[in-house]
Amino acid sequence: MTAGPDRIEAVVFDLDGTLADTMTLTPRVYAETIRRLGGPEVSQEEVIEAWHIGSTPVVLSHFLCRSVTPQDIECFYGSFKAAIAAVQPLPGIPGMLSALRREGYRLAVFTHATRRAATMTLAAAGLDHFRLTLVGGEEIARPKPAPEGLQLACQRINVTTPAAAYVGDAEVDLQCAAAAGSLAIHARWRATGATVTPHLAAGHPGDIVGLLAARNPK
């Protein structure tokens, strides 16, 4: 882990699989949309493997092997809107965000999803009232593990990257944090696939508060 400052002032989160329970829902929408637009049959696992290459237009173009049109994008969002209505925050997330707010941490989200999709997800999951600063995948040139999106999130909440922690469930999230010089925390409450070492790990969202308290002794 890259050495950080004495204190962490902000926490930036990945979205899918970290804050919201979308890791079955969203790949299914991609697979259905690709098939509807004349593309190949793809599995949800294939979608998950590919979706870190960029935001929604990039992922659709990858599987369709062509440029996507505005109509293609609206086809995706039509299905996404219907499916996302049932999304829930992962257990413990609202309490963890409330606790971090009380402790004075600045909070943001950096996700490969587009701003539109992320805004819909946060609203459906009942997390929009936390007013998390958001950076979507289409706002940056290079996706994770490049640090650009995390750097932009930190700029928007007015902290340096070494003063931020980035919490995510995937290896690319932890690599992104390392590239930015931020504190990487592996969100292990849903999946355990990350292999970046060494890194901090949180088995439950509530563990984040304790990890940061240890990092920021009063």
Q: Which two tokens stand for residue 168?
A: 């995510």
pLDDT, tens digit, for every residue of 140-166? 999 999 999 999 999 999 999 999 999
In a domain, 44, yes or no: yes
* Predicted pLDDT at 190: 79
Could you give the CA distance from residue 114 to residue 55 in angstroms, rounded to a whole number?
A: 6
* Predicted pLDDT at 132: 98
67 phi/psi in degrees, rounded to 5: -70, 145
Shortest CA distance to 144 belongs to which of 20, 42, 41, 58? 58
For tokens 């706002």, what's the residue? 139
Q: Are residues 57 and 160 in the same domain?
A: no
In a domain, 4, yes or no: no
* Predicted pLDDT at 148: 97
For tokens 């587009």, what's the residue? 114
Identify the weakest region by mean pLDDT among 122-131, 167-176, 194-203.
Answer: 194-203
How many Cβ atoms from other residues are within 10 Å of residue 179's Cβ?
18
Could you give the CA distance from residue 69 to residue 192 in angstroms, rounded to a whole number?
A: 36
With beta carbons less than 8 A apart as the criterion, state whether 135 and 152 touch: yes
CATH of the domain at 36: 1.10.150
Residue range(s) defining the domain that contains residue 115 = 10-21+87-215
Q: Are residues 71 and 106 in the same domain?
A: no
In a domain, 3, yes or no: no
- How sure is the predictor about 4, in pLDDT bands with cuts at 50, 70 and 90? very low
Q: Are residues 60 and 91 in the same domain?
A: no
Domain boundary among 59, 84, 109: 84
Q: Are residues 126 and 62 in the same domain?
A: no
- How sure is the predictor about 207, in pLDDT bands with cuts at 50, 70 and 90? very high
Could you give the CA distance from residue 149 to residue 69 in angstroms, rounded to a whole number?
A: 25
Q: Are residues 16 and 32 in the same domain?
A: no
CATH of the domain at 117: 3.40.50.1000
Q: How many domains does the chain have?
A: 2
Could you give the CA distance from residue 107 to residue 138 in angstroms, rounded to a whole number?
A: 20
Q: Are residues 38 and 103 in the same domain?
A: no
Q: Are residues 130 and 46 in the same domain?
A: no
With beta carbons less than 8 A apart as the criterion, state whether 157 and 8 touch: no
pLDDT, tens digit, for every residue of 98-111? 999 999 999 999 99
Q: Are residues 145 and 167 in the same domain?
A: yes
pLDDT at 194 over 50: no
